[in-house]
Chains A and B, each alone.
Chain A
């Protein structure tokens, strides 16, 4: 795919679908995302949920045209290895270009960031996230960004949250999404957005504020049954007293205020911390928590559930052991999960709204600016990004999401009927690819949507509806509304 797409770009695939964005028009026209690569269609006679498709559904936000052929060529191990080294993957030029138009707003140099309008800042961050989820070649990295964004959830609409969340997204989540957990945890603990969101800015010598300390142990590390006590909450809070951030010069930068720090001796989870530790008290707590067996288990369980849809004691033990042996490295855990035979046999997972929207856009090679045309629907489907108020992040289990199917159906209708602003499908281009293989337009659409043979029994219900929908756009809506498309 890398070479193919590059070739297409080099050929200057002008004259394809017109660009949606204003500015840089000539470049944009040549770089339009709606360009279909060679081998756009999956190979014929693929069964539903084949190994490659399952991998792309879980490690990525579903296949884009051409991805099946690409992963088939690399092999599952090859693809996972490539995804685990995202820095080696050149980004899609279209992504770089569209992100460039957001760069001014999202510059993590907080000096200029703080001059921006709150609402616009969150909007831009949402756009960037959606663009990356749809177009980035570093798909596993984007998936892990979503996972950690929930794990270290920050509600962006509290205080200076909009600007600080932009910094957090860059310096905490994205910088460490595939790294060592201790580094991620350390960055989060010094993230101004987190310190503000969980009130550590008010945690001072004298009477500590427990909010951050509690969620640090309950959600970020040990888990609620991880063996800590009320006393530990109080002691950890003392350790983090004085952890705050700059509010004027270098706004948003971490700052340890020694005069607000409780420098007496402390005891955390049975470990004594002598007096006079200063900023090292907090770092010491993070060391203890990151290395604690309960943390390994907690993360093992969450990651397994995220990628396999369920967990078991044996999986938890296995992943926790890898976590501990690798000193908290995320990559070997992902390698174990994504190359396991259980990935193929695991039950389907109900797509959350972001997954549903992004997988639709990817499967049908949509051209989108990631803006309000899609975001509006994410909100009514229940997943307005960075707006989950509680520190536990958006829920994953299916039963939280089944009450809001009508908004999903409305997204499917809007996308198919070209009613989502700055988001377009090029159905003639898709059906053109099928024509070469002798497929009808409707069958071509099924193949792009599900990456399997349209004759697969799982699609018989949808295929039987073909005669009722001579208008392909309407049929597209039905396909995206169908129960089959809600799972991955």
Chain B
């Protein structure tokens, strides 16, 4: 992590900032973030759907006949197909697209203008490899070239404000995602309880923390060690039973528990700016199912978790939160023989927030599913660079103007999916 961070600085990714705002240490005097004041913009929650979610099932082009032609067994029913039970039909969004029925819990947010969809969205990655496509998207680049650090890390490192909170950026799960690679103050956790020292010896943990403070000073783990100690200190200062949520509507799975922890951190006002979560299981090569099945199960958890999160935060905090949901690629338009779908290109991205999104709308240029419009072996074309969505979120909601450094080489073009 350290060498990467040094690499980021050495690459001059910050040179523009350095010229305009002086060295980073001087920024400390500009704005001091206390526990209660926080950064100027929204809290960002980034949810990565691992494995390549089938965008055509998540947000279904139900008015496109080619969709049904390509998917004789796994297509989801039209909203007005009265031969089907309601639970087997998509939830109509705009007469052309509809949400997967398992995402029904998100319909109230869509109706309230708090959920926007960006369709036919993705990166320039052509390998259709999970790992390449994920690395591309988490690095915030269009293909193989560009900085090795993560886009979220570059946002945090170029933000023109100072936030020394050790819980400024968290990742749920113990492995740090590449989007945070190169950032200082990143903490991984599965539950907040993991972030407390549990000593079997009497007399508290203060002595151990003091000793560790002295020991973690000079090797390559010094910074990570000091960050962990600050986390311990911050959490020790929280009331014993913090604003523990009584919200019971979170699903009892990793994503539900993760978002519950994020909501707790937001309510505790510990300086959280960015949280990364993963949901796996989207690599549906086989038996992905329709209104029920593997994919429906994942999406049901996604929809319920997000709806619970919005409700748990309440209007005021939800109004200062932006959620982005992305995945490394979409999947092939035609179903395969295993009643699943193979790796594709364009997919759908979701944006949510109490005030942040131009919701109630499916954004982006729809390329269509006719054979002559498909990409490579039969995939939805990418008509929107996912980075343009993220750039709008970063500049308009997070209030960091340095998107040119965060996404070098991006042909910037605002999509209008984000409110200023």
Task: Contact check, B211 vs A465: say whether CB atoms are below 8 A apart.
Answer: yes
Stretch at the interface among B125-133, B260-268, B361-369: B125-133
A1 within 8 A of B: no
Task: Contact check, B211 vs A417: say whether CB atoms are below 8 A apart.
Answer: no
Minimum CB–CB distance for A390 against chain B, Å: 6
Task: Contact check, A214 vs B128: say whether CB atoms are below 8 A apart.
Answer: yes
Instruction: Take A382-B175, A465-B211, A471-B201 as given contacts and tell me if A406 and B337 are in contact as well, using a CB distance cutoff of 8 Å.
Output: no
Q: Which of A344-381 touch B at CB < 8 Å?
A: 350, 380-381
- Closest A-chain residue to B181, C-beta based? A399
The complex places the Cα of A398 from the Cα of B189 at a distance, in Å, of 17
A residues in contact with B212, CB < 8 Å: 409, 478, 481-482
- Closest B-chain residue to A484, C-beta based? B219
Q: Which of B179-227 touch A at CB < 8 Å?
A: 181, 186-190, 194-201, 207-208, 211-212, 214-217, 219-222, 224-225
Minimum CB–CB distance for A124 against chain B, Å: 23
Among candidates A234, A381, A391, residue contacting B174 with C-beta atoms closer than 8 Å:
A381
B311-330, CB under 8 A of A: which get 1 and which 0? Answer: 00000000000000000000
A147 within 8 A of B: no
Task: Contact check, B208 vs A224: say whether CB atoms are below 8 A apart.
Answer: no
Task: Contact check, A390 vs B130: say whether CB atoms are below 8 A apart.
Answer: yes
Task: Contact check, A389 vs B280: say whether CB atoms are below 8 A apart.
Answer: yes
Among candidates B50, B129, B216, B340, residue contacting A483 with C-beta atoms closer than 8 Å:
B216
Task: Contact check, A224 vs B200: say whether CB atoms are below 8 A apart.
Answer: no
The complex places the Cα of A230 from the Cα of B343 at a distance, in Å, of 11
Among candidates B186, B199, B200, residue contacting A418 with C-beta atoms closer than 8 Å:
B200
B4 within 8 A of A: yes
A residues in contact with B220, CB < 8 Å: 398
The complex places the Cα of A210 from the Cα of B214 at a distance, in Å, of 53
Stretch at the interface among A197-205, A285-293, A444-452: A197-205
A221 within 8 A of B: no
B75 within 8 A of A: no
The complex places the Cα of A390 from the Cα of B4 at a distance, in Å, of 24
A44 within 8 A of B: no
A102 within 8 A of B: no
A438 within 8 A of B: no
The complex places the Cα of A402 from the Cα of B216 at a distance, in Å, of 13
Task: Contact check, A209 vs B376: say whether CB atoms are below 8 A apart.
Answer: no
A377-415, CB under 8 A of B: which get 1 and which 0? Answer: 000111000000111101100111111111101100110
B377 within 8 A of A: yes
A487 within 8 A of B: yes
A residues in contact with B340, CB < 8 Å: 199, 202, 209
- Closest A-chain residue to B223, C-beta based? A402
A474 within 8 A of B: yes
The complex places the Cα of A331 from the Cα of B142 at a distance, in Å, of 40
- Closest B-chain residue to A237, C-beta based? B342
Summarize A's interface: helix, strand, loop or mixed.
Answer: helix
The complex places the Cα of A380 from the Cα of B196 at a distance, in Å, of 12
B408 within 8 A of A: no
Most buried by A among B232, B287, B338: B338
Task: Contact check, A405 vs B221: say whether CB atoms are below 8 A apart.
Answer: yes
Q: Which of A452-488 touch B at CB < 8 Å?
A: 461-462, 465, 468, 471, 473-474, 477-478, 481-484, 486-487
Task: Contact check, A401 vs B175: say whether CB atoms are below 8 A apart.
Answer: yes
Among candidates B188, B211, B216, residue contacting A468 with C-beta atoms closer than 8 Å:
B211
Task: Contact check, B215 vs A406: say whether CB atoms are below 8 A apart.
Answer: no
Minimum CB–CB distance for A193 against chain B, Å: 15
A residues in contact with B334, CB < 8 Å: 207
- Closest B-chain residue to A388, C-beta based? B175
B218-246, CB under 8 A of A: which get 1 and which 0? Answer: 01111011001001100000000000000
Among candidates A206, A230, A484, residue contacting B128 with C-beta atoms closer than 8 Å:
A230
A2 within 8 A of B: no
Q: How large is the interface on A (under 10, 10 to 19, 20 to 34, 35 or more residues)?
A: 35 or more
A211 within 8 A of B: yes
A residues in contact with B336, CB < 8 Å: 202, 207-210
Task: Contact check, B221 vs A486: say whether CB atoms are below 8 A apart.
Answer: yes
The complex places the Cα of A414 from the Cα of B201 at a distance, in Å, of 9
A residues in contact with B196, CB < 8 Å: 406
B91 within 8 A of A: no
B residues in contact with A203, CB < 8 Å: 337-338
Task: Contact check, A202 vs B127: say whether CB atoms are below 8 A apart.
Answer: no
Instruction: Take A211-B283, A478-B211 as given contacts and tell me if A404 and B174 are in contact as well, using a CB distance cutoff of 8 Å.
Output: yes
B residues in contact with A407, CB < 8 Å: 174, 194
Among candidates B201, B211, B285, residue contacting A210 with C-beta atoms closer than 8 Å:
B285
Task: Contact check, A202 vs B221: say whether CB atoms are below 8 A apart.
Answer: no
The complex places the Cα of A462 from the Cα of B287 at a distance, in Å, of 56
Instruction: Take A461-B214, A462-B215 as given contacts and tell me if A405 and B224 are in contact as well, using a CB distance cutoff of 8 Å.
Output: yes
Minimum CB–CB distance for B18 against chain A, Å: 23
Task: Contact check, B131 vs A410: say whether CB atoms are below 8 A apart.
Answer: no
Most buried by B among A403, A416, A477: A403
A residues in contact with B287, CB < 8 Å: 202
- Closest B-chain residue to A211, C-beta based? B285
Q: Which of A401-445 touch B at CB < 8 Å?
A: 401-407, 409-410, 413-414, 416-419
The complex places the Cα of A204 from the Cα of B339 at a distance, in Å, of 12
A218 within 8 A of B: yes
Task: Contact check, A399 vs B4: say whether CB atoms are below 8 A apart.
Answer: yes
The complex places the Cα of A127 from the Cα of B222 at a distance, in Å, of 33
Among candidates B214, B231, B280, residue contacting A406 with C-beta atoms closer than 8 Å:
B231
- Closest B-chain residue to A464, C-beta based? B214
Q: Which of B361-387 touch A at CB < 8 Å?
A: 376-377
B415 within 8 A of A: no
The complex places the Cα of A478 from the Cα of B281 at a distance, in Å, of 39
Task: Contact check, B219 vs A224: say whether CB atoms are below 8 A apart.
Answer: no
- Closest B-chain residue to A234, C-beta based? B377
The complex places the Cα of A405 from the Cα of B50 at a distance, in Å, of 25
Minimum CB–CB distance for B96 against chain A, Å: 28
B66 within 8 A of A: no
The complex places the Cα of A210 from the Cα of B171 at a distance, in Å, of 31
Q: Which residues of B contact A (CB under 8 A)?
A: 1, 4, 50-51, 127-132, 171, 173-176, 181, 186-190, 194-201, 207-208, 211-212, 214-217, 219-222, 224-225, 228, 231-232, 280-281, 283, 285-287, 334, 336-340, 342-343, 376-377
Known: A202-B287, A389-B280, A409-B197. 5 other contacts (CB 8 A): A202-B339, A209-B285, A390-B130, A483-B216, A484-B219
Closest 8 pairs (CB-CB, A-B): A382-B174, A202-B338, A417-B200, A403-B188, A399-B1, A402-B224, A207-B337, A202-B286
7 contacts between A and B (CB under 8 A): A350-B221, A400-B175, A402-B1, A404-B174, A406-B197, A406-B231, A477-B201
